[in-house]
Amino acid sequence: MKHCSHCSALVSFIVPQGDNRHRYVCSSCEFIFYENPRIIAGCLPTFGDKVLLCKRAIEPRKGYWTLPAGFMENGETTQEAALRETYEEAYASPQLNELFSVCNLANYNQVHLFYLAKMTSAQYGSGPESLEVELFEEANIPWDDMAFGTVTQTLQRFFEDRKNGAMQLHHIDF
């Protein structure tokens, strides 16, 4: 960034007093612009033994498959964000269960969280950010056309856990 969003003066990239990292600091009003990781929350919705995936209608990774997920908004919980995104992208309202994966993308300044979620009916559809939404058996998951590594890893671990008969929380670093 170049200019302060509060007073429009130039900002400089310096270590503020008492800090140990470089920050953008306004040269006039001295506002410090902290930049912190962003949280992406989503669901791993299942119906029977099938998993609900969305084909992305938007960049990045347009045309590739993903679990419904998106950036958390201010004022909501991670659970609310996961359910909101699932409705927006897949018009599905599953019953939210436990947290399944916490994916740290330290190089991208993001954390991706996926909750297990049970669909009580096969009601879903394509939201504006999805080209297609579909239920997949494990054998038909389009592994070569997955949008994000976090989704691939989360699904792989889900199927492993399911085979072993016990779901556990996974911490995955990228």
Place of tokens 């199927």: 159
Could you say which of 3, 6, 22, 162 contacts Zn ion (CB under 5 A)?
6
Pick between residue 31 and residue 136 the one whose CB is nearest to Zn ion. 31
Q: Which of residues 29-48 bind Zn ion (CB under 5 A)?
A: 29, 31
Query: Would you say the C-alpha torsion 169, 85, 174, 19 has a positive or negative sign?
Result: negative
3-state secondary structure of 149: helix
Q: Based on the shown chain and the rule CB under 5 A, indicate whether residue 169 belongs to the binding site for Zn ion.
A: no
Question: 18 to each of 12, 14, 32, 96, 160, how far by Cα in Å?
Answer: 17, 12, 12, 42, 47
CA 164, CA 162: separation in Å to the nearest integer?
Answer: 5
Pick between residue 12 and residue 77 the one whose CB is nearest to Zn ion. 12
Q: Based on the shown chain and the rule CB under 5 A, indicate whether residue 26 belongs to the binding site for Zn ion.
A: yes
Pick between residue 26 and residue 116 the one whose CB is nearest to Zn ion. 26
User: 136: which 2 tokens?
Assistant: 């997949």
CA 158, CA 166: separation in Å to the nearest integer?
Answer: 10
Segment interacting with Zn ion, rule: CB under 5 A, options 1-9, 55-63, 120-128, 138-146: 1-9
User: 89: which 2 tokens?
Assistant: 């992208």
At closest approach, how far in Å is the CB of 28 from Zn ion? 5
Q: How far is CA 28 from the centre of its chain?
A: 36
Q: Which of residues 63-102 bind Zn ion (CB under 5 A)?
A: none
Could you say which of 1, 3, 7, 13 contacts Zn ion (CB under 5 A)?
7
Q: Based on the shown chain and the rule CB under 5 A, indicate whether residue 4 belongs to the binding site for Zn ion.
A: yes
Pick between residue 30 and residue 145 the one whose CB is nearest to Zn ion. 30
The count of other CB atoms within 10 Å of the CB of residue 102 is 16
Segment interacting with Zn ion, rule: CB under 5 A, options 23-31, 72-80, 106-114, 121-129: 23-31
Q: Which residues bind Zn ion (CB under 5 A)?
A: 4, 6-7, 9, 26, 28-29, 31
